[in-house]
Structure 1
Amino acid sequence: MRSVWRTVPTVTILPTDAERKLALRRMKTLATSLLVVAAVVFAVSFALQDRYPWLGFVRAAAEGAMVGALADWFAVTALFRYPLGLRIPHTAIIPNRKDEIGATLGAFVETNFLSDEVVAGKLGTIDLAGAAADWLAEPGNARRVVAESFHGVTGLAGLVDDERMREAMEAVVRRHVVAPLWGTPLGRLGERVLSSGGHREAVDLLLDRLDEWLAANPEAFGAVVSRRLPSWLPSFVDRAIDDRLHAEARRLVRSVRDDPDHRLRRSLDEYLAQLADRLQHDPATIERLEAAKGRAFDDPRIRELAASTWQAARAAALDALADEDGELRRRAEAFVVDVARRIRADDELRASLNARLTGAALHLVTSYRSDIAHVITETVQSWDPSETTEKIETQVGRDLQFIRINGTVVGALAGLAIYSMATGVSALF
């Protein structure tokens, strides 16, 4: 798979606007200097050509150079402004046709850069998942990603208003938890649990805890039984009654726990089965459940508990996110590195991820291609004409100055060639 893909190309560092403007001024100075040199040479050779006939060739070359330089100066200048301030037709093309240029540029980008074929073809040759995995496999890079992610989450959490969040959570809970009827779902769930016998483990656990509590708290029976007996009974009788009741209670609990077919267990099963049925079909039972549910969720104490729970969870989460040496960050960094290494080592997984990334990019391009082009069009159209001229000239003006330089050189050669041919023809005749 790696033989087909190539890595992500290195980004070329482009010069800044200030550097481009400096280069543009230098090229303008060079092109203008050549015109001045040609003019000086023309003036000197024109003045001395009668004394030195060979200077006629120099004069012709200088004359052609001046013509070529002036013609190309006019052509280049006419793109950006009026030459010498004269409103000559078809000059100052860019500021006068700014809106049309913006629309054309937007359409050009949409057609030639954001088409499905171009995007799919470009992404199909780049191993995006592999490049990301190679970068994230380095612990330092993974640490940076986790740190930036945690900073972002912490910043978002800091913007959240606790009261609004509590209200939002309460609204979600009321809509999706409180508002729906509970009776039928709970009844069906109870039927499934009873039919599978899953409740027996809960009953066994409850009986175990009850037996442990009875063993650890034998004096609890005194408050229930012996203290209610007549005061004239001897104390040993009270203790005997307490001990007897305590032993019988433990014996009953153990017998129920050890006998899966105990009559109390069967009674409990029958009661639970009837309750599950009534929750589904008995309107009175369903209404009582809904009333109890409403009272519970409307209780101010429950709302205060929910608010305090949210604040405590939020504080704990922020503390964990902010701790640069905490366990949460270390685990997150290790997780990122592990995932990156798995992607790098698994060709099929990497191919699947690249396919998904390409599909996501195509979806975004298809959905927002016109919007992106429209943004380009609107941006160019919103520019001030002079601003547009300055931006475009800064970007391409330096290269356009070569037209002036080439025009000067070509004009000089053309002038020399024409003068030479004219002189040769006149010599023949």
Structure 2
Amino acid sequence: MSTTGGRAPRTAGAGGFAYTAEDEEKRRGVRRMKATATALLLLVAVVYALATWAGAAGVTGWPGYVAAAAEAGMVGALADWFAVTALFRRPMGLPIPHTAIIPTKKDQLGASLGTFVGENFLSADVVRTRLHALDIAGRLGAWLSEPAHADRVTAELSTALRGALTVLRDADVQAVVGEVITRRAEAVEVAPGIGQTLDRVVADGAHHRAVDLVCARAHDWLVLHGDSVMDAVQGGAPGWTPRFVDRKVGERVYKELLRFVTEMRDMPGHPARGAIDRFLVDFAADLQGDTETRARVERLKSDLVARPEVQDVIASVWGSVRAMIVSAAEDEHSELRQRARASLLALGARLTTDAQLRRKVEGWLEDAAAYVVTTYRSEITSLITDTVASWDADQTSRKIEAHIGRDLQFIRINGTVVGALAGLVIYTVSHSLGG
């Protein structure tokens, strides 16, 4: 290939296959070796001609041996020249069958290479054997046991986490979170769980504090709003009753109500408290076993979840969680990073000392790798065949010749030398037997 301005051109074939300046430099080395091999062929041809001339001139002895060696060297050189040339192009441009193998058989070679790789490298047994020999779990454990390495992994994980949270759109995540929570709430019946919890609360007496609080607040409210209570009672009296009677009735109702609430507040054994306990026990049982009660609770749950206020709260959960995670990931001394670092160090120590854990990890890795190569073997090998098929045939031939052509020219040189030696031995044996 010619050059411009002393620099080799860079040409790209299909599929990004490029013939580079480095390839051109290799081709210059190939041309030098070609010249050497051709010069050796010419040398043995000249030797053959001189030996033949000497024999014809009446010189006896050595001309026959030299001519036989040179003749066999020429045959070997020409045969190897033909073989090497036939890999990349048609010798002397002649349409000889089974020549220009690489340009004409490129796709078949790619398919064969893909099949070879699939059968000999992408098999479950080969992958398992190789991974088992590498002892990945043991090496990983020893590596993670170093605090500096654990710090590095923690930092990288934090960076990756921040990057992932930055890429995610809050609106999309909030919509997904809201849908998941709502769907989960709709799918789970809450009444039985509430009933069981209420049963345990009543059995433990944990509800007594709530009753105490309600009674105390009710008493304080009645003390502060006595006039409002009496006015409400008087306002509900018939119009034909005297006003002083209404006022007396209102005062009486207020005093009785205040006395009742006061007694409930001050008497743990008050009958009304027992009635509340029985009500809660019956309600807990209905929540667990009564169909109508459970249906009402489910309808209430659905109405509550569907309210815009609740949906806004659900959607805002992601924003709070995201801010918390980003802040913890950025802070080197945060609890999240410290726990992650401690977990990595502990994992490294366990992988180093616990043989059973190492076997489990190696088994998981081997199973995963075996699954990938057996499931996606055709896709992996098709990458090889499709890539080779996309290459330009001529550029492929030139690139391969640039990389291996120099070694192939040694075949021509060796063929010349070996051919000459073989010819000399054959002539010597024949002459000895014939003489």
Cα deviation, 1:313-368, whole Å, max 9, x if unaligned, reads: 21222232234554432331221121111110111221222223223333333323
CA-CA distance at 1:131 after TM superposition: 1.5
CA-CA distance at 1:189 after TM superposition: 2.3
Aligned partner of 1:141 in structure 2 is 149
The aligned runs of 1:200-239 (5 Å cut-off) are 200=204, 202-204=206-208, 206=210, 223-225=224-226
Distance 1:205 1:99 in 2: 84
Secondary structure of 1:125's counterpart equals helix
The aligned runs of 1:274-423 (5 Å cut-off) are 274-279=282-287, 285-324=293-332, 326-390=334-398, 392-393=400-401, 396-421=404-429
Secondary structure of 2:352's counterpart equals helix
Secondary structure of 2:207's counterpart equals helix
Contact 1:28 1:401 in 2 (8 A): no
Contact 1:80 1:92 in 2 (8 A): yes
Given the alignment of the two structures, is residue 132 of structure 1 paired with residue 140 of structure 2, yes or no? yes
Contact 1:146 1:329 in 2 (8 A): yes
Distance 2:278 2:219 in 1: 31
Aligned partner of 2:193 in structure 1 is 189
Cα deviation, 1:196-247, whole Å, max 9, x if unaligned, reads: 4566354255467779x87xx99766533478789xxxxxxxxxxxxxx999
Distance 2:96 2:261 in 1: 113
The alignment's C-alpha RMSD in Å is 4.0
Aligned partner of 2:46 in structure 1 is 43
Aligned partner of 1:81 in structure 2 is 89
Secondary structure of 2:376's counterpart equals helix
Secondary structure of 2:152's counterpart equals helix
CA-CA distance at 1:146 after TM superposition: 2.6
Given the alignment of the two structures, is residue 268 of structure 1 paired with residue 276 of structure 2, yes or no? yes
TM-score, normalised to structure 2's length? 0.72
Which stretch of structure 1 is more off in the superposition, 412-421 or 82-91? 412-421
Cα deviation, 1:7-52, whole Å, max 9, x if unaligned, reads: xxxxxxxxxx987875675355335413313414643673586399
Given the alignment of the two structures, is residue 30 of structure 1 paired with residue 33 of structure 2, yes or no? yes
* Structure having the higher Rg: 2
CA-CA distance at 1:155 after TM superposition: 2.4
CA-CA distance at 1:410 after TM superposition: 1.1
Which structure 2 segments of 5+ residues have no match?
Answer: 1-19, 232-256
Distance 1:274 1:358 in 2: 58
Contact 1:46 1:56 in 2 (8 A): no
Distance 2:75 2:365 in 1: 57
Aligned partner of 1:118 in structure 2 is 126
CA-CA distance at 1:113 after TM superposition: 2.2
Which structure 1 segments of 5+ residues have no match?
Answer: 1-16, 231-244
CA-CA distance at 1:304 after TM superposition: 2.5
Distance 1:291 1:218, change over 3 A: closer
Contact 2:201 2:207 in 1 (8 A): no
Contact 2:88 2:100 in 1 (8 A): yes
Contact 2:202 2:277 in 1 (8 A): no
Distance 1:278 1:306 in 2: 30
Aligned partner of 1:12 in structure 2 is none
Aligned residues: 387
Aligned partner of 2:184 in structure 1 is 176
The aligned runs of 1:227-266 (5 Å cut-off) are 252-253=264-265, 255-256=267-268, 263-266=271-274
Contact 2:195 2:287 in 1 (8 A): no
Distance 1:329 1:412, change over 3 A: farther
Distance 1:198 1:286, change over 3 A: closer
Secondary structure of 1:89's counterpart equals coil
Distance 1:350 1:251, change over 3 A: farther
Contact 1:27 1:398 in 2 (8 A): yes
